[in-house]
């Protein structure tokens, strides 16, 4: 089934909630999709009919291309820039605060904000095609907002490698070794079978125990509301620079 209009959809069945997002530009993330994602995570977290959540994107190619370049080049003032990058902050914080485990399904390449999503889920499974890249520095910004989530998951050394070597694709095996992915499968069929089996087991687990475990896993991140807002301000300022505008235009022209 092909899609042309961007969307975020939520469904629930058998104690499992599924959030799926789509954008025709390789599942990129404009502000509208980010807002819908944050709302969907919040809704799923309060849905008493589900015990576990799956986050996925549509299609069989890219998982997520990160920030929308079209929206980035349209930012003309710091307030607009801050508001756009707060979209990423709001999604990450919604996932952090969600009282239920979130399983990530990564079927293809993840860039920038997409790596942030994969880092902010509680358990991420991927295919061998799921290379990851933090490309922000290459366009004159830096992975400031997603940085805390990525660093928490893979450690400072691996995060630094990704942030500095911003044009390099880090393959799925590297991402699994560093802890971004819990496991990597040769194809989507094997990955989906593993996700279904895990989600079904969790749907039958004690929701109070899982809620308490999630709180333990995310201990020490209560300051992220303020931290990610500050980071959004940093990115919102940098996106206005001539350097960044020229770099984004070059990327768009490729």
- Give the DSSP per-residue string, the chain: ----S-EEEEEEETTEEEEEEE-TTTTEE-HHHHHHHHHHHHHHHT-TT-SEEEEEESSSS-SB-EE-HHHHHT--SHHHHHHHHHHHHHHHHHHHH-SSEEEEEE-S-EETHHHHHHHHSSEEEEETT--EE--GGGGT--STTTHHHHHHHH-HHHHHHHHHSTTPPBPHHHHHHHTS-SEEESSHHHHHHHHHHHHHHHHTS-HHHHHHHHHHHTTT-TTHHHHHHHHHHHHHHHTTSHHHHHHHHHHHH-
Total structural domains within the chain: 1
What's the Cα-to-Cα distance from 251 to each of 119, 235, 244, rounded to whole Å?
25, 18, 11
- pLDDT higher than threshold 60 for residue 158: yes
Q: Binning pLDDT at 50, 70 and 90, where does residue 2 land? A: low
Is position 37 within any domain? Answer: yes
- pLDDT higher than threshold 90 for residue 252: no
Strands 52-57 and 66-67: unpaired
What are the pLDDT digits (tens) for 195-205? Answer: 999 999 999 99
Is position 241 within any domain? Answer: no
Is position 147 within any domain? Answer: yes
* Higher per-residue confidence, 252 vs 86: 86
Give the domain CATH number at 28: 3.90.226.10
At residue 250, the pLDDT reads: 82
Mean confidence (pLDDT) of the chain: 96
Is position 125 within any domain? Answer: yes
Is position 73 within any domain? Answer: yes
Model's pTM, two decimal places? Answer: 0.96
Three-state SS for 174-212 is: HHHHHCCCCEEECCHHHHHHHHHHHHHHHHCCCHHHHHH
At residue 251, the pLDDT reads: 76
- pLDDT higher than threshold 80 for residue 169: yes
What's the Cα-to-Cα distance from 85 to each of 59, 108, 130, 161, rounded to whole Å?
25, 23, 24, 22
What's the Cα-to-Cα distance from 156 to each of 44, 49, 72, rounded to whole Å?
31, 38, 27
The boundaries of the domain holding residue 130 are 7-203
Instruction: Centre a 10 Å sphere on the Cβ of residue 181 and count the other Cβ atoms it contains.
Output: 26
Q: Binning pLDDT at 50, 70 and 90, where does residue 1 land? A: very low
What are the pLDDT digits (tens) for 17-69? Answer: 999 999 999 999 999 999 999 999 999 999 999 999 999 999 999 999 999 98
| pLDDT more than 70, % of the chain | 98
Is position 139 within any domain? Answer: yes
What are the pLDDT digits (tens) for 190-245? Answer: 999 999 999 999 999 999 999 999 999 999 999 999 999 999 999 999 999 999 98
Is position 240 within any domain? Answer: no
CA dist., res. 165 & res. 2, Å (int): 34
- pLDDT higher than threshold 50 for residue 109: yes
Is position 72 within any domain? Answer: yes
């Amino acid at each position: 089934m092909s899609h042309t209009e961007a969307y975020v959809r939520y469904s629930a069945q058998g104690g499992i909630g599924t959030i799926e997002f789509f954008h025709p530009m390789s599942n990129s993330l404009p502000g509208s999709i980010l807002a819908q994602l944050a709302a969907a995570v919040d809704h799923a977290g309060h849905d008493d009919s589900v015990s576990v959540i799956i986050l996925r994107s549509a299609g069989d190619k890219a998982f997520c291309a990160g920030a929308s370049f079209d929206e980035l080049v349209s930012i003309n003032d710091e307030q607009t820039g801050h508001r756009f990058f707060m979209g990423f902050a709001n999604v990450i914080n919604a996932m952090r605060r969600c009282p239920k485990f979130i399983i990530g399904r990564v079927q293809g390449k993840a860039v920038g904000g997409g790596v942030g999503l994969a880092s902010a889920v509680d358990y991420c499974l991927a295919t061998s095609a799921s290379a990851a890249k933090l490309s922000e520095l290459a366009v004159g910004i830096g992975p400031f907002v997603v940085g805390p989530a990525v660093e928490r998951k893979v450690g400072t050394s691996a995060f630094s490698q990704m942030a500095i070597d911003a044009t390099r694709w880090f393959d799925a095996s590297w991402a699994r070794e560093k802890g971004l992915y819990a496991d990597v499968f040769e194809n989507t069929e094997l990955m989906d079978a593993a996700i279904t089996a895990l989600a079904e087991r969790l749907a039958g687990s004690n929701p109070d125990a899982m809620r308490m475990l999630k709180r333990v896993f995310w201990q020490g991140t209560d300051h992220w509301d303020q931290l990610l807002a500050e980071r959004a301000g940093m990115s919102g300022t940098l996106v206005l620079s001539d350097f960044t505008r020229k770099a984004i235009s070059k990327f768009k022209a490729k």
